[in-house]
A and B are shown apart, each in its own frame.
Chain A
Amino acid sequence: MSDLLLEILVEELPARFVDSASSQLCQLVVNHLDELYISHGDARGLATPRRLVVLVQSVAEATEPRTADVKGPPRLASYDSDGHPTAALAGFCRTQEVDVSEVHDVEMQGRTYVFATKTIPGQQSSRLIESFLPRLLREISFPKTMRWEESGLQFARPIRALTALLGETQLSWEAAGVVGSNTTFGLRVGKPRPISFVNADEYFRKLREAFVILDRAERKRSIEKQASRLLSPSPFHLGSDADTLFDDVVNLVEYPTVFLGELPATATGLPAVVVRSVLEEQMHSFPLYDGDNAIAPQFLSVRNGLGDFIEKVRHGSENVANARLMDASFFIKEDTRHPLASFVPKLDSLMFMDRLGNMAQKTSRLETMARHAGEYSKLSPHDVDVLAAAARVAKADLATSMVKEYTSLQGEMGRVYLEKEGAPADVAAAVREQYLPRSATDAVASTRCGRLLGILDRVDTIVGILGTGFNPSGSEDPYGIRRAGNAIVRTILEQAESIDLERLTSVDMRAYEESGIQLESGNLQTNVLEYLAGRVVQYYKERQSSRDYAPFDALPLDQLATVPARINALRERSGDAGLSALADSHRRIQNITKGIEDTTVLPADLPLTEPEERTLRDNAEVCASNVSRFLSLGQYGEAIRSCEALTPSISQFFDKILVMTHDDSLRSARLLLLCYLKHILGSVCDFSRLV
């Protein structure tokens, strides 16, 4: 038993590639070992931006001898009419090195095949491992690869050294002009000095001495520990998102040293979002906050390397921060020479999407949609005005220097500039919040107009993209419409933001027409609504709540905002005997009225004569008015209870009455009664889908 150590030394990998490449490599090695019947212990993948490492413990020196069944030709083709082996069987036996008398029959899917049992002798693990080493490099998949030498191997970055050691035996491994060896290099400090080692233990010890921390979790712990030590005597603290920021930095360094830097005076006059973007995006550093959560005059940064000469690094970083912040303050000064609205005309030189015109056209559609908000939402007239004002300048900041330079500040700069010029706070907030939620974990917008503006913008994008004939079925999301759809659904569900998406879509499609952009006609509106309905299904699926949602998935989309409250009401009554009886009744009604449409009103002269059907009719009409009142009040539990109250009369009806009678008029009257019930129950939910 020995340890297997692999190292691929590369020029700096993109930080975002490191974790995935490391786990892929480890998994690939394990898979190959297993496929080759090489027994082994635990395997572990380690990585820094410069190396991918795998350590597999207790790898057997050789494989155990074993037998294997090999499939041969069908029995029918193996023997001739006299029962003698055919050429096909003889050939098979020759290649498998068994005698024709040693084969046996196996039945597979109705046919009989000839099988040979082969004895495979034990093999040296080192030889077997060498056979898969060259493949490993091609098997790791990266988001983007490159070539750098004449063999044309595709890898994320150039490979500069390869190591494969089994115990103390160096395995041969050659690729991309690199010959495997037992040497590597440590952290880049001073002149590069080769480090050689005879086994895995020595490798780990020497790399540690050469200031390489191979374990990502250890690097992260080190960053956290150093940060908290530096900050413990300080009145400042890290932001709540520091953890994700650490994740970003941990694969940029082999040996992290944390330090504090001073922010220049320039910083104090700048909006907090700007300082944050400069530090986080351009410098991979961390802003600090004071007790009031305002930006502190210091920042935290992580150096790749030792604590030596940290003063120089600090000084350099402070200068860079200063230069960047001065740059930003120059941009803001330029941008604020004119009101934000003056950037709107410039949006005509900014493309929205290929074939969908420019951002000025998008702006005018957003304004149109906003002005019609009363038609598809319950926005007050005051809020409609706020929404329209926000829509007017929603995209203006895209033409400002600041957002051109820092695209992630879209919406943020709009708000900052609007506040500076004294625009109403709710307009400024909506402009900022239109981009929320930014990710699947981000919170949705907190103001109504912000939520609405975000929905308008995203519906407009989805309508446009689907209107170009784009088919969204693939796994890629090249135009971001899946993300847009998810954001719409989350906003509606999580904030109970009632909105009629069908009407909104109509308004938008008209606005496209007015702005002179041709969209594919046909089923566009249906496609858009089905696409959004699909996102709702996905929303519940991702939260493992598909079963909870199933009774509601036939509900019209304009009721979407009520779904969470309905689910809760139903959940509160779950386990109730009445509910399961109701589910049976609903199912029975659906089966017998399959293919017949719901009925919303019963004619007064319906020929119902039997007591059970008359009772059911009376009860149903009472139930209908109760249900509709409870639904409009949002009292879903009460609505469900009203439906449950119908169950006894439904059961009695089915016990006593033959629906499918030969009398045409009686049959259709009874079916009509059932379609009426189907309508009442269905307006609450599809009880038949309760499990």
Chain B
Amino acid sequence: MNFEQMVAKLEQFWEDEGCTRLFPYDQEVGAGTLSPHTFLRVLGRKPWRAVYVQPSRRPADGRYGENPNRLYMHHQLQVVIKPPPSDIQDTYLRSLYVLGLKPSEHDIRFVEDNWETPVLGAAGVGWEVWLDGMEVTQFTYFQSAGGKELPVVTVEITYGLERLAMFIQSKNNVYELEWHEGVSYGNLRQQAEKENSMYSFDSADVESLTTLFDLFEKESKRMIEMKLITPAYEYLLHCSHTFNLLDARGTVGVSQRMAYLGRVRRLAYGCANLYLENEEHE
């Protein structure tokens, strides 16, 4: 089973479970959680079921396309369901079955791992799912977001698609994965991995990025004041990615780092509050 077939099967599976199948958000994010399809939708009381692939950029994890396991950009398949069904663990295990991974033939374990994104004031409780020792999924019950306890819990299931594909295709090098018949992951991604690593570690212009962060932040704040949640949140995402680039460049000191994270967090709280205000008015 190649990469695209695997993704298609998972999307189809969750669509059949009543999830709306969405496209990746068209902006740089560090994880599927940062997509407004998750971060904003977990707030408030309205039910929500969605599945989407999210390319996720982590500039500090780039390895110039040389490391068989680490990537500047990897792909997550994100499932969010609010409120969580009581058989959600079994449903998840069935989704692995669809990929040919049977619990009787593998060692599938739920190993404690509580997740936290300080930048969003968000935290959850859950597990990493191990498939014969490889973590292939993060399974989380959201407890708080935007600095607030959530009135209704959302379950978030995040499949690490490269890890899962490496397992299924028995490959030790991500670049050797088959994406489409005759097309490897390396064909598609290796050059971009190299270039993005060169950019974020060696060539990114710190001064410009610092200025950009300030401008993005200013614009996000202005949109919060105007109560336009979507653009406010999109500029927050720009801030977050710009900070990640600065961080990878190694120019952010400890206290500066705390300050940057605090600035992004204030924007996140602002957006979350607006979203909740809106829901109340409806």
A residues contacting B by CB (< 8 A) are: 11-12, 14-16, 49, 144, 146-150, 157-158, 160, 177-178, 188-190, 192, 252-253, 282-285, 301, 303-306, 308-309, 312-313, 315-317, 319-323, 326-327, 330, 346, 348-351, 358
Contacts and interface: CB of A to CB of B under 8 A. Distances in A.
Nearest to B66: A330
B250 A349 contact: yes
B108 interface: yes
Given A14-B112, A177-B86, A188-B93, A309 B133 contact: no
B104 A190 contact: yes
Contact of B106 (A192, A284, A313, A350): A313
Contacts of A144: 114, 125
Given A12-B127, A252-B111, A348-B253, A316 B106 contact: yes
B254 A350 contact: yes
B104 A309 contact: yes
Contacts of A319: 132, 134, 166-167, 170, 172
Given A147-B153, A323-B172, A327-B67, A316 B132 contact: yes
B41 to A, nearest CB: 18
A349 B69 CA distance: 26
Shortest beta-carbon contacts, A-B, top 9: A316-B132, A14-B112, A12-B110, A146-B125, A309-B105, A320-B133, A351-B254, A303-B107, A189-B104
B59 to A, nearest CB: 15
Given A149-B83, A188-B93, A192-B90, A308 B104 contact: yes
A312 B105 contact: yes
Given A12-B127, A327-B70, A349 B104 contact: no
B211 interface: no
Contacts of B109: 12, 252-253, 304
A16 B112 CA distance: 9
Interface in B104-146: 104-112, 114, 125, 127, 131-134, 141, 143
B63 interface: yes
Contact of A313 (B132, B143, B257): B132
A441 B109 CA distance: 30
A317 B133 contact: yes
B254 A327 contact: no
A19 to B, nearest CB: 14
A312 B106 contact: yes
B207 to A, nearest CB: 19
Contacts of A158: 84, 86, 141
Interface of B: 63, 66-70, 83-84, 86, 89-90, 93, 102-112, 114, 125, 127, 131-134, 141, 143, 152-153, 166-167, 170, 172, 250, 252-254, 257
Nearest to A308: B104
User: Which of B86, B172, B250 is most buried by chain A, counting CB atoms within 10 A of its CB?
Assistant: B86
B68 A326 contact: yes
A313 B125 CA distance: 27
B86 A305 contact: no
Contact of A330 (B63, B125, B131, B133): B63
B107 A349 contact: no
B256 to A, nearest CB: 9
A108 B139 CA distance: 59
A552 B43 CA distance: 62
B106 to A, nearest CB: 6
Given A148-B153, A327-B70, A317 B132 contact: yes
A160 B91 CA distance: 14
A26 B89 CA distance: 27
A15 B113 CA distance: 11
B83 A283 contact: no
A148 B141 contact: yes
A150 B254 CA distance: 40
A189 B103 contact: yes
Contacts of B125: 144, 146, 157
10 contacts: A144-B114, A149-B84, A252-B111, A301-B133, A305-B104, A313-B106, A316-B167, A319-B167, A323-B166, A327-B67
Contacts of B170: 315, 319
Given A316-B132, A327-B69, A349-B252, A147 B104 contact: no
Contacts of A285: 133
Contacts of B111: 12, 15, 252, 284
Given A322-B172, A323-B166, 11 more contacts: A12-B111, A14-B112, A148-B84, A150-B152, A188-B103, A189-B104, A313-B106, A319-B132, A323-B69, A323-B134, A326-B68
Contacts of B67: 327, 330
B133 A321 contact: yes
A349 B89 CA distance: 41
User: Which of B69, B102, B107, B143 is most buried by chain A, counting CB atoms within 10 A of its CB?
Assistant: B107
Contact of B253 (A49, A192, A349): A349
Given A144-B125, A148-B84, A323-B134, A313 B107 contact: yes
Contacts of B102: 190
Contacts of A308: 104-105
Contacts of B103: 188-190, 305
A149 B69 CA distance: 37
Contacts of A348: 253
B153 to A, nearest CB: 5
A326 B69 contact: yes
Nearest to B111: A252
Contacts of A283: 133
A147 B143 contact: yes
Contacts of A49: 110
A358 B252 CA distance: 13
Contacts of B66: 330
Contacts of B253: 348-349, 358
A321 B172 CA distance: 10
A284 B84 CA distance: 29
Nearest to B129: A12
A192 B84 CA distance: 18
